[in-house]
Structure formats: structure tokens, C-alpha cells
Amino acid sequence: MAGQSRQALELPVFEVPPKVLIVVAPYYADIATDLVDGARAELVKVSAKVDLVKVPGALEVPTAIGIAFRQAEYDGFVALGCVIRGETTHYETVCDNSNRALQHLGVEGACIGNGILTVESPEQAAVRADPGKENKGGGAAVAALHLIALKQRFGSSKREVGSGQVSGSA
């Protein structure tokens, strides 16, 4: 929108470089390459250790992140891919379900930057993925880094929801 300003947060500073897994669905190869390039460029700025895995499509991205979240030692994750609207409701199914699954993992404590593009056309995807234009891959990496920093700030102790004691009596 014209006249709207955007504010970018400064990258967090880490005492120990974070370990980040990029999970990408390379269905649209050129778009995926740009998304990964943008993400890597941001992660390099904080000396992050980066691994990359490829999955068949956007629906598999949350599953791969979920497996890694439970079974591997990563501080955060960058979800990348692209869904372009077609003539069927498949677009809504893929967009809604991949986003919902990523959000669920985030609420469970996974530090995820969501860079799965949901667009109307290949032209929109190209602009959003391009590291020299909208750089949504880089934005997803930055989001993951901020969540990692926040998790470190709050500490690693876990408690059950509702486990806090109520002071006073009714």
C-alpha cells in the first residue's frame, strides 16, 4: 500500500551461533532457489549453522520440521515453498493445512519462520522470492532467528499449561 512504512527489526545477537534447518519444497525450482538463497544470506549474518532438506511439496514441509523438532538438535527452522492458485480448491487445502500445521508446531515450541509463498501467479511468486526484491526467504529466516532469540531469553525450563499455582483463596 502506498504510504505504508515497514519496520525491520535488527538481527538478534547470539553468543553461540544457532543451528537452523531449512526445509524447502522445490516444486517450482527457480522460486525455491531464490527463497533458499535469501534465507541463507540472512542466516550467514549471524554465523548460523545451516542444514537443508528438500521435500516433495508444501504439505510435507511441516511434517519434516515436526520430525526434526522431535528427533534432532536444531534451534530453529525455516519453511520454504510456493503454492500458486490453480483452478481447483487444492490451493486452499494446501495453503490452509500447511500453515495450520506450522502454526501448531510453533505453539508447541518450534521456532519457525514461515516462508511458504501463497500467490495468485508465477509472476507474484518471482517478486516475493527474489532476494533483491521482497526476499520472503530472508524474511522467514529473520523471523526464525527472532523466535530463537526469544526462546533463549525466556530460558529452557518447561512447565505444563495451567501448572502455575494460584495465590490467595476465593
146 is catalytic: no
| Residue 26 pLDDT class (50, 70, 90 cuts) | very high
User: For the chain, what is the radius of gyration of the CA atoms?
Assistant: 17
Q: Is the Cβ–Cβ distance between 135 and 78 less than 8 Å?
A: no
- Kindly report, residue by residue over 113-155, the tens digit of the pLDDT: 999 999 999 999 999 999 999 999 999 999 999 999 999 999 8
Confidence (pLDDT) at 6: 77
In a domain, 44, yes or no: yes
CATH, residue 68:
3.40.50.960
Catalytic residue among 90, 100, 104, 133: 90
Residues in contact with 161: Cβ distance below 8 Å, sequence separation at least 6, in sequence order? none
**Residue 119, domain extent:** 19-154
In a domain, 163, yes or no: no
- Kindly report, residue by residue over 54-87, the tens digit of the pLDDT: 999 999 999 999 999 999 999 999 999 999 998 7
Give the number of domains in the chain.
1
Alpha-carbon span 76 to 143, nearest angstrom = 10
Quick one: 168 exposed, middle or buried, by C-beta within 10 A (0-12, 13-18, 19+)? exposed
The answer to which of 1-15, 25-39, 64-78, 118-132 has the lowest mean pLDDT is 1-15
In a domain, 11, yes or no: no
In a domain, 4, yes or no: no
- Kindly report, residue by residue over 90-116, the tens digit of the pLDDT: 889 999 999 999 999 999 999 999 999
